[in-house]
Amino acid sequence: MVAASAIGDPRFFRRTGPHDLGRITAEIGIPTPEGVDRLIEAVAPLQSARPEDLSFLDNRRYASALEATRAGVVIVHPQMASRVPPTAVALVTREPYLAWARVCALFHPLPPLTSGIHPSAVIDPTAEIDPSAEIAPFVVVGPHARIGARSRIAPFAHIGTGVIIGEDCRIGSNAVLSHALLGDRVVLFPGVAIGQDGFGFATTSTGHVSVPQLGRVVIHNDVEVGANSTIDRGSANDTVIGAGTRIDNLVQIGHNVRTGRCCVIVALAGISGSTVLEDFVVVAGQAGFAGHLRIGKGARIGAQAGVIADVPPGVEMLGSPAFPAKEFFRQVATLKKLATRAKPPETPSSKTETD
């Protein structure tokens, strides 16, 4: 194993630089400190950073690491600027984590695009692929599919008939897409399955009869879908994922689900058919939803919550079945009091001593 102060093993991550402070502050969108001229070679954690590295702090719990760091430049919130050691230059911003993201992308950009179609890819003659797109080995692109400018399709991905992929998208290895329309800058990680049949069937006395699923999956701009997550196509209406939404690994989204803008859905969550998540809803890990619900704007659903009713905007829900947080904690406190209540006094023994 190779140890290093900076993050980003060069075997896996391309690195640019060094970059001067002016380039870095321009990326963050803040003024360059006056009278400071410093060249930064890499980004690194506070604990291992060298004088030629840049680091950041976004959590007060690590303030002691900030005070002891050897980093040459540190991105911090204004409230922590006084704790930056004199050996470091403080880049002060109210959004240090966002600044860190931008600087990391500066030092570690995506690999350069390799435009063109690999000879082993199988491309239907009716498919439309922008010349700037990158089609890796063993990709399959079906009839009448369209792939936009600068999009990257990784090995063994399958792009089904009629699928549309916008510009600057990244489709991971072994992803499978059918009945889907993707906007720009959509990222699908390896193993994602988009557009398969929804879980719809009629039950009879002799068994189940599958109902044709005639909708699509519509994914708006700037959405990311984590590895091995699945999004079913609609039964009649479309399944829609709103712009800027982030979906973690191993998430299941049923047919006709609609999410608003910038929702966050964490790993192992399951959303049943025809449920609507309004803008900026956050769903924690392993939460589950019954079907045909409406989750209001900005609601927060806790880990392992079981949501069986509509949720008003801005409410935090916990537990299974899920209750508003205040009510949930009140129930927990009541149960704790009952469990720890003093035991009743023991009754006198009926046994008597004999002479």
What is the set of active-site residues? Answer: 255
DSSP state of 133: -
Assigned token pair, 113: 């695009």
Location of structure tokens 């506070």: 46
Is 306:324 a contact under the CB 8 Å cutoff?
A: no
- Separation CA 257–CA 242 (nearest Å): 11
Residue 151, sorted as left (phi over 0), alpha (psi -120 to 50) or beta, turns out to be beta
How many CA atoms does the CB half-sphere of 259 hold within 13 Å? 29
Find out whether the peptide bond into 131 is cis, omega within 30 degrees of 0.
Answer: no
CA atoms of 101 and 114, how far apart (whole Å): 25
- Contact criterion met (CB below 8 Å) for 147 and 162: no
Please tell me the distance from the alpha carbon of residue 341 to that of residue 166, in angstroms, as a whole number: 62
Going from the C-alpha of 241 to that of each of 13, 26, 135, 256, 259, the distances in angstroms are 30, 33, 25, 10, 5
Asked if residues 216 and 233 have their Cβ atoms less than 8 Å apart, the reply is yes
Nearby residues of 209 by Cβ (< 8 Å), 6 or more positions away: 201, 202, 203
349 burial type by CB count under 10 A (0-12 exposed, 13-18 middle, 19+ buried): exposed
**Sheet of 89-92, strand order:** 42-43, 53-56, 73-76, 89-92
